[in-house]
């Protein structure tokens, strides 16, 4: 009986802790202690490792995806250019964003580098200009990494449905 009581108390305590502080949303937290300290340590780390990427990383998403689009939201009406922001863990930090029409035809594309490369997660922000979209029609915004072997083969897809403004 005593063991059951302890197990019950521990179980309730774990549930209480798990529910604290969550609003059900996803929060990404930069892991830099301060702006000045982060920038000096980022440049020191980048030169020490030979990489030109900053070392500012973000907390990985809960869903095991390697790329997540934070903005715009799915179903949003977009116009050209569209600002795309999110989180990625891809080779060399290379992120490609593509706007597609309802039939899958490419209307525009842009490439950027996330703030960190695989295996870390970094933030990306890219502006995609596109043309040929029909106002009111549906389309897709697709973001992916590229293979380090050839620099073009898409990896780690993530996409959302959009409407054209």
pLDDT digits (tens, 9 = 90+) for 77-134: 999 999 999 999 999 999 999 999 999 999 999 999 999 999 999 999 999 999 999 9
* Lowest-confidence segment of 11-15, 42-46, 78-82, 154-158 by average pLDDT: 42-46
- Taking alpha carbons only, the member of 117, 2, 110 closest to residue 55 is 117
- What CATH number does residue 139 fall under? 2.60.40.2550
In a domain, 48, yes or no: no
In a domain, 110, yes or no: yes
In a domain, 152, yes or no: yes
The conformation of residue 86, written as its DSSP 8-state character, comes to E
Q: 126 - beta bridge partners?
A: 84
In a domain, 37, yes or no: no
Q: What's the gap between Cα 44 and its chain centre?
A: 25
How many structural domains is the chain composed of?
1
Burial class of residue 71, CB neighbours in 10 A (0-12, 13-18, 19+): exposed
In a domain, 8, yes or no: no
Reported confidence tier of residue 56, pLDDT bands at 50, 70, 90: low
DSSP 115-157: SS-TTS-EEEEEEE----PPTT-EEEEEEEEE-TTTS-SEEEE
In a domain, 4, yes or no: no
Residue 4 has pLDDT above 80, yes or no: no
In a domain, 87, yes or no: yes
In a domain, 7, yes or no: no
Structural domain boundaries, residue 86: 60-164
Determine the Cα–Cα distance for residues 67 and 86; give it in Å rounded to an integer: 7
Contact 54, 32 (CB under 8 A): no
């Amino acid at each position: 009986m005593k063991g059951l009581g302890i197990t019950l108390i521990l179980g309730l305590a774990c549930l209480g802790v798990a529910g604290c502080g969550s609003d059900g949303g996803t929060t990404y937290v930069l892991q830099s202690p301060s702006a000045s300290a982060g920038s000096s340590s980022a440049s020191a780390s980048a030169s020490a490792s030979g990489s030109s990427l900053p070392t500012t990383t973000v907390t990985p998403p809960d869903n095991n995806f390697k790329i997540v689009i934070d903005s715009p939201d799915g179903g949003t009406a977009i116009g050209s250019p569209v600002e795309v922001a999110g989180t990625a863990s891809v080779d060399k930090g290379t992120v490609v964003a593509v706007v597609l029409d309802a039939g899958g035809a490419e209307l525009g594309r842009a490439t950027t580098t996330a703030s960190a490369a695989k295996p870390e997660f970094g933030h990306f922000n890219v502006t995609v200009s596109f043309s040929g979209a029909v106002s009111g029609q549906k389309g897709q915004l697709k973001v992916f990494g590229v293979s380090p072997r050839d620099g073009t083969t898409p990896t780690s897809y993530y996409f959302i449905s959009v409407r054209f403004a």
